[in-house]
Amino acid sequence: MKDDSCIFCKIANGEIPSNTIYEDGEFRVILDLGPASKGHALILPKSHYKDICEADQAVAEKLFPLAAKLGGAMKQSLGASGFNVVQNNGTSAGQTVFHLHVHVIPRYDGGPQMVAWNPQEANNDELKATAKVIRDTLG
Ligand code: 5GP
Ligand code: ZN
Protein backbone atom coordinates (compact mmCIF):
# COMPACT_ATOMS: atom_id res chain seq x y z
CA MET A 1 0.00 0.00 0.00
CA LYS A 2 2.32 2.68 -1.33
CA ASP A 3 1.56 5.73 -3.39
CA ASP A 4 4.18 6.24 -6.10
CA SER A 5 3.65 9.99 -6.10
CA CYS A 6 4.06 10.35 -2.33
CA ILE A 7 7.37 11.63 -0.99
CA PHE A 8 6.78 10.21 2.50
CA CYS A 9 6.14 6.75 0.99
CA LYS A 10 9.54 7.01 -0.66
CA ILE A 11 11.24 8.21 2.54
CA ALA A 12 9.46 5.68 4.76
CA ASN A 13 10.48 2.83 2.49
CA GLY A 14 14.07 3.97 2.15
CA GLU A 15 13.95 5.03 -1.51
CA ILE A 16 14.91 8.57 -0.50
CA PRO A 17 17.54 8.94 2.23
CA SER A 18 16.60 10.56 5.52
CA ASN A 19 17.98 11.11 8.98
CA THR A 20 16.38 8.05 10.50
CA ILE A 21 16.25 7.70 14.28
CA TYR A 22 14.08 4.59 14.48
CA GLU A 23 12.81 1.91 12.13
CA ASP A 24 10.81 -1.27 12.41
CA GLY A 25 8.65 -3.27 10.02
CA GLU A 26 5.81 -0.73 10.08
CA PHE A 27 7.35 2.65 10.78
CA ARG A 28 10.29 4.89 10.03
CA VAL A 29 10.98 7.87 12.27
CA ILE A 30 12.94 10.70 10.69
CA LEU A 31 14.09 14.17 11.61
CA ASP A 32 11.94 16.94 10.13
CA LEU A 33 13.75 19.03 7.51
CA GLY A 34 12.17 22.19 8.91
CA PRO A 35 12.36 21.54 12.64
CA ALA A 36 10.37 23.50 15.21
CA SER A 37 13.12 22.61 17.68
CA LYS A 38 16.24 20.47 17.85
CA GLY A 39 15.22 16.83 17.45
CA HIS A 40 11.78 17.45 15.86
CA ALA A 41 10.86 14.02 14.51
CA LEU A 42 8.18 12.61 12.23
CA ILE A 43 6.73 9.13 12.66
CA LEU A 44 5.93 7.78 9.20
CA PRO A 45 3.99 4.55 8.70
CA LYS A 46 5.51 2.59 5.83
CA SER A 47 2.05 2.11 4.34
CA HIS A 48 0.29 5.04 2.73
CA TYR A 49 -2.70 6.52 4.54
CA LYS A 50 -3.78 10.05 3.76
CA ASP A 51 -4.56 10.83 7.39
CA ILE A 52 -5.51 9.28 10.71
CA CYS A 53 -9.07 8.58 9.53
CA GLU A 54 -7.77 6.27 6.81
CA ALA A 55 -5.23 4.41 8.92
CA ASP A 56 -5.55 0.76 9.84
CA GLN A 57 -6.38 0.44 13.52
CA ALA A 58 -3.36 -1.81 14.08
CA VAL A 59 -1.12 0.99 12.82
CA ALA A 60 -2.97 3.83 14.54
CA GLU A 61 -2.84 2.19 17.95
CA LYS A 62 0.94 1.96 17.83
CA LEU A 63 1.46 5.67 17.20
CA PHE A 64 1.02 6.96 20.76
CA PRO A 65 3.25 4.33 22.39
CA LEU A 66 5.94 5.04 19.79
CA ALA A 67 5.59 8.81 20.32
CA ALA A 68 6.01 8.27 24.07
CA LYS A 69 9.13 6.18 23.54
CA LEU A 70 10.63 8.81 21.25
CA GLY A 71 9.75 11.67 23.57
CA GLY A 72 11.38 9.86 26.46
CA ALA A 73 14.52 9.29 24.40
CA MET A 74 14.58 12.98 23.42
CA LYS A 75 14.42 14.03 27.06
CA GLN A 76 17.26 11.68 27.92
CA SER A 77 19.50 12.34 24.93
CA LEU A 78 18.87 15.99 24.10
CA GLY A 79 18.04 17.45 27.50
CA ALA A 80 14.48 18.31 26.47
CA SER A 81 12.19 18.93 29.42
CA GLY A 82 8.99 18.05 27.56
CA PHE A 83 7.63 17.31 24.13
CA ASN A 84 4.56 17.90 21.97
CA VAL A 85 2.83 15.17 19.99
CA VAL A 86 1.10 16.83 17.03
CA GLN A 87 -0.82 15.27 14.17
CA ASN A 88 -2.50 17.36 11.48
CA ASN A 89 -5.45 16.18 9.38
CA GLY A 90 -6.55 18.30 6.45
CA THR A 91 -5.36 21.55 4.95
CA SER A 92 -7.36 23.65 7.42
CA ALA A 93 -5.50 21.87 10.22
CA GLY A 94 -2.11 22.62 8.72
CA GLN A 95 -1.46 19.32 7.00
CA THR A 96 0.89 19.86 4.06
CA VAL A 97 2.02 16.30 3.31
CA PHE A 98 -0.88 13.94 2.76
CA HIS A 99 0.73 10.81 4.13
CA LEU A 100 -0.18 10.20 7.76
CA HIS A 101 2.57 11.36 10.10
CA VAL A 102 2.95 12.28 13.74
CA HIS A 103 5.22 15.10 14.86
CA VAL A 104 7.19 14.54 18.06
CA ILE A 105 8.65 17.90 19.04
CA PRO A 106 11.05 18.19 21.96
CA ARG A 107 10.59 21.27 24.12
CA TYR A 108 13.30 23.00 26.09
CA ASP A 109 13.05 25.20 29.17
CA GLY A 110 12.80 28.82 28.11
CA GLY A 111 12.10 27.84 24.50
CA PRO A 112 9.05 28.94 22.55
CA GLN A 113 5.76 27.16 23.14
CA MET A 114 4.99 25.40 19.91
CA VAL A 115 1.40 24.35 20.27
CA ALA A 116 -0.67 27.38 21.16
CA TRP A 117 -4.06 28.86 20.38
CA ASN A 118 -6.10 31.83 21.48
CA PRO A 119 -8.92 30.52 23.68
CA GLN A 120 -12.29 31.72 22.39
CA GLU A 121 -15.39 32.52 24.41
CA ALA A 122 -17.89 29.64 24.51
CA ASN A 123 -21.15 29.70 26.43
CA ASN A 124 -22.57 26.60 28.04
CA ASP A 125 -25.52 26.24 25.59
CA GLU A 126 -23.13 26.32 22.68
CA LEU A 127 -20.83 23.74 24.29
CA LYS A 128 -23.84 21.50 25.01
CA ALA A 129 -25.11 21.76 21.41
CA THR A 130 -21.66 21.11 19.97
CA ALA A 131 -21.16 18.09 22.22
CA LYS A 132 -24.56 16.75 21.15
CA VAL A 133 -23.97 16.93 17.37
CA ILE A 134 -20.62 15.20 17.67
CA ARG A 135 -21.97 12.59 20.12
CA ASP A 136 -24.96 11.87 17.85
CA THR A 137 -22.65 11.40 14.86
CA LEU A 138 -20.46 9.00 16.79
CA GLY A 139 -23.57 6.95 17.58
P1 5GP B 1 2.39 18.67 8.19
O2 5GP B 1 2.34 20.18 8.04
O3 5GP B 1 1.85 17.99 6.96
O4 5GP B 1 1.80 18.17 9.46
O5 5GP B 1 3.94 18.35 8.31
C6 5GP B 1 4.79 18.12 7.25
C7 5GP B 1 6.18 18.22 7.80
O8 5GP B 1 7.04 17.53 6.94
C9 5GP B 1 6.71 19.65 7.91
O10 5GP B 1 7.10 19.89 9.26
C11 5GP B 1 7.89 19.68 6.95
O12 5GP B 1 8.97 20.43 7.47
C13 5GP B 1 8.26 18.22 6.83
N14 5GP B 1 8.78 17.82 5.55
C15 5GP B 1 8.27 18.11 4.32
N16 5GP B 1 9.00 17.51 3.35
C17 5GP B 1 9.99 16.83 3.99
C18 5GP B 1 11.06 16.00 3.52
O19 5GP B 1 11.26 15.78 2.31
N20 5GP B 1 11.88 15.45 4.46
C21 5GP B 1 11.69 15.69 5.80
N22 5GP B 1 12.55 15.09 6.65
N23 5GP B 1 10.70 16.46 6.27
C24 5GP B 1 9.86 17.03 5.38
ZN1 ZN C 1 2.58 7.99 1.18
- 37: closest CA among 90, 130, 110? 110
pLDDT at residue number 2? 84
pLDDT tens per residue, range 11-23: 999 999 999 999 9
Question: Is 101 in the active site?
Answer: yes
Ligand 1 near 21 CB (within 6 A)? no
Whole-angstrom distance, CA of residue 123 vs CA of residue 130? 11
Q: How much distance in Å is there from the Cα of 15 to the middle of ligand 2?
A: 12
Annotated active-site residue in 40, 48, 99, 101: 101
- 10-residue stretch averages of pLDDT, the chain, 139 residues long: 92 96 97 95 98 97 98 96 97 97 96 81 93 94
Q: What is the pTM of this model?
A: 0.94
Q: Which helix (H) or strand (E) holds 126?
A: helix 124-138
Three-state secondary structure string covering 47-93: CCCCCCCCCCHHHHHHHHHHHHHHHHHHHHHHCCCEEEEECCCCHHH
